[in-house]
Structure 1
Amino acid sequence: MSKWIDISQPLTNDMAHWPGDTPFHYTLSATKEQIGSANIGEITTSLHIGTHIDAAFHFDSNGKTVDQLDLDLYIGKAAVIDVSHTETITTAVLKKYPFDQTTRLLLRTSLPNNPKRFPSKFPYLDPEIAQFLSEKGIQLLGIDIPSVDAPDSKELHTHHALHQHGIHILENIMLDHVNPGFYDLIALPLAIHGADGSPVRAVLRPLEGNE
């Protein structure tokens, strides 16, 4: 059986974070030497650090929170496609790829994976792709960039368009080492009550005929 491929960013104290957000920080709050029994760690972080999912509550105060999401969205067959030839991802671009056999689509874009650098510019995802992806049955869109919208966007048009078409969002996956094709995906969020997002450990396993 094929091995699982990790496509999540490691959570490290020197990883990049969204400007203005709480950076990730791990430390030992107590050591075995201090208390005699165990090492005890603690973390502080934005929920949108590294590889993470957005709940609708992130951009819609009436939207679902992480604990209200259907876990089946984040487990199952996924298609990985390579759109790294363009800086602008439109319906015309996506129409060239076959992904009718799954409800989960992961995009490998032109931005190289670098967890320690926050990019000043992302490839552009046209909000109009939401309707096309919905017509194709997509319910989860994963991308290897920090957001489906530009870093300076206040309106978050693509977030809202995807939500309006029933498509959930997985951001900051790492796909530079992954070939296009079909995979099993696991990208479960933590059960954080009332949360707007959650870091995930995202992994892929090649399906038969895609190894």
Structure 2
Amino acid sequence: MSKWIDISQPLTNDLAQFPGDTPFNFSLTYTKEETGSVNIGQMTTSLHGGTHVDAPFHYDSNGQTMEKVDLDIYIGKALVVDVSDTDSILPEMLATIDNVERVLLRTSLPNNPKRFPEAIPNLNPAVAPLLKEKGVKLLGVDMPSVDAPDSKDLPTHHALYEQGIYILENLMLDHVKPGLYELIALPLAIEGADGSPVRAVLKPLAEEE
């Protein structure tokens, strides 16, 4: 029987974050010795640190907040596509996608959760209309963003949004073979939020066995 594959970045106190954003931090508020019964922890974090999803509100002040997004988007058949042979991801590289609503891109960026990359592969905004034509509803990447980290106009975020495609970022795919999987990447129901951390996992489908 196939086992679930964890494709999430571990949340550690040395996790890299967007420059200037709130770093992840976990600590014990109270120890078992102090309470007499239990350890109690706390954490602070940006909603965009580690493996996470963007709610439309992240880049559109009138967009859906996290608790309003349809959960079905984040559960179901997903196709892992290897585009690691290029630093410029173009629509024609995704032309063979068919009959799948979730696409995860394994790019040339090495998976290193403790180091924020100086540069990331360019995901051309023109992929959005192609993915829409293919019926895709969720695009996942193993990068901290679908746009350059220093971008202010976020062309690929907005291009995907205009096509009704949701975004999953900071996946760990270096150890995952291309092919079809079952994906679970559920966000937390954080009221009013612009995103959420997720525990993203894959299981190979029967077609892959």
TM-score, L = length of structure 2: 0.99
Give the aligned partner of residue 133 of structure 1: 131
Shift of the alpha carbon at 1:85?
Answer: 0.4
Indicate the residue corresponding to 1:184 in structure 2: 182
CA contact 2:99–2:134 (8 Å) conserved in 1: no
Q: 1:166 aligns to what SS in structure 2? A: coil
User: Could you tell me which amino acid in structure 2 is paired with residue 35 of structure 1?
Assistant: T
The equivalent of 1:206 in structure 2 is 204
Which residue of 2 is the match for residue 20 of structure 1? 20
Aligned-partner Cα distance in 2 for 1:60–1:209: 38
Asked whether the 8 Å contact 2:82–2:107 carries over to 1, the reply is yes
2:37 corresponds in structure 1 to: 37
Alignment of 1:8-157 (within 5 A): 8-95=8-95, 98-157=96-155
Counterpart Cα distance in 1 of 2:27 and 2:92: 47
Cα pair 2:29 2:41 within 8 Å, conserved: yes
Give, in whole Å, the separation in 2 of the partners of 1:200 and 1:11: 10
For 1:160 and 1:186, the matched residues in 2 are separated by: 24
Large movers: runs of 4+ above 2 Å:
none
Whole-Å Cα distance in 2 between the matches of residues 119 and 172 of structure 1? 11
| Letter aligned with residue 24 of structure 1 | F
SS in 2 for 1:12: coil
Aligned residues: 209
Secondary structure, aligned partner of 2:129: helix
Distance in 1 (CA, whole Å) between partners of 2:40 and 2:141 is 34
How far off its partner does 1:209 sit? 2.9
Amino acid at match of 2:53: I
For 1:163, give the aligned amino acid.
Y
Displacement of 1:94: 1.6
CA RMSD of aligned residues (A): 0.7
After TM superposition, give the deviation of residue 99 of structure 1 in Å. Answer: 2.5
C-alpha separation between the residues in 2 aligned to 1:144 and 1:177? 11
Aligned-residue identity in percent:
67
**2: distance between equivalents of 1:94 and 1:76?**
19
Separation in 1, partners of 2:143, 2:79: 17
